[in-house]
Amino acid sequence: MTLLSVILLAIIQGLTEFLPVSSSGHLALAGMILKVPEGDMTFEIVVHLGTLMAVLAVYKNDLMGLISGVLRKQRESLVLAGLLIIGSVPAALAGFFLSDSIERAFSSPVLVSVMLLITGCVLFSTRFMKSGNRDNPSVTGSVIVGVSQAMALLPGISRSGLTISTGLFAGIKREKAARFSFLLSIPAIAGAAVLKLGNAGSSGIDYSLMVTGFVISAFTGYLALRILLKFLRAGRFSIFAWYCWLLGLSGLTVSLAGG
């Protein structure tokens, strides 16, 4: 991989991991265009860990408060921790038992395009939702958000898009829905990186390029997360639907025309 390829892929990962437009679809497409070596997940793991750092930077106070509250056995923190654990189960089970099927889905541009269209529809529907009054989801709501996160293992389905949207549907306040979504993403991103370690190997990428990719994905991820929160506070979360629809229709047109 060249320095330019590393920079472009890291920027794409950082921006699309948190903006509700599906990072998996973008990274897969960009990887094919830039001819990233197949079979080695080292670089993908590095940039995902970069975006994990972005979440930790933005939500460090919430995370530290949660950990401190759990250690002090504060009811509010224990409840939130329990809901996050419940919400993490669906994606963990799907990633463990359906990893091969999910991996095959990445080779179907038609499927990716259709999933992008579905993501767009979900995002667009949030424009009709009023901000809720709950700080956390109910147990049932936590399960539903967790299932949404599991569905986002499919390329073209946005993790942040679906989890925040279902959080809004569950009556959670906008910023609290984002907080729950991104706290939920911490074990998801870390777990995905661990699962991919088995496919990591000698990719031929210089360590300096790895560090470059990590830093760029962390920085762009931080910016993307701040941008997303700004749009969410303004009640303009649904605006990202247009991009998903445009990309999905373009991909579907090209795929069907070529087939």
pLDDT one-digit tens code per residue, 124-166: 999 988 778 999 999 999 999 999 999 998 888 999 999 999 9
pLDDT at 71 over 80: yes
Helices (H) and strands (E) in the chain, counts: 12, 0
The rounded distance, in Å, linking the Cα atoms of 204 and 228 is 35
Averaged pLDDT score across all residues of the chain: 87
Q: Which residues contact 67 (CB under 8 A, 6 or more apart)?
A: none
C-alpha 194: how far from chain center: 16
Q: Which of 20, 14, 13 is nearest to 152 (CA)?
A: 20
Ordered by start, the domain boundaries in the chain are 3-258
Distance between CA atoms of residues 15 and 12, nearest Å = 5
Ramachandran angles phi, psi of 208, nearest 5°: -65, -35
Of the candidates 220, 221, 242, 213, the residue with the CA atom closest to the CA atom of residue 47: 213
Single-letter amino acid code for the residue at 198: G
If we measure between CA atoms, which residue out of 27, 6, 13 comes closest to residue 156? 27
Amino acid at 174: R
The whole-angstrom separation of Cα 52 and Cα 25 is: 18
The predicted model gives 209-217 an average pLDDT of 92
**Planar angle of CA 107, 166, 91, nearest 5 degrees:** 50
Closest Cα to residue 109, out of 13, 31, 29? 29
Of 80-84, 92-96, 209-213, which has the strongest mean pLDDT? 80-84
The predicted model gives 82-92 an average pLDDT of: 95
Mean pLDDT of 65-69: 96
pTM, entire model: 0.89
Structure tokens given for 201: 């190997």
pLDDT tens-digit map of 160-205 = 999 999 999 999 999 999 999 999 999 888 877 776 665 555 555 6
Tell me the percentage of the chain whose pLDDT exceeds 90: 56
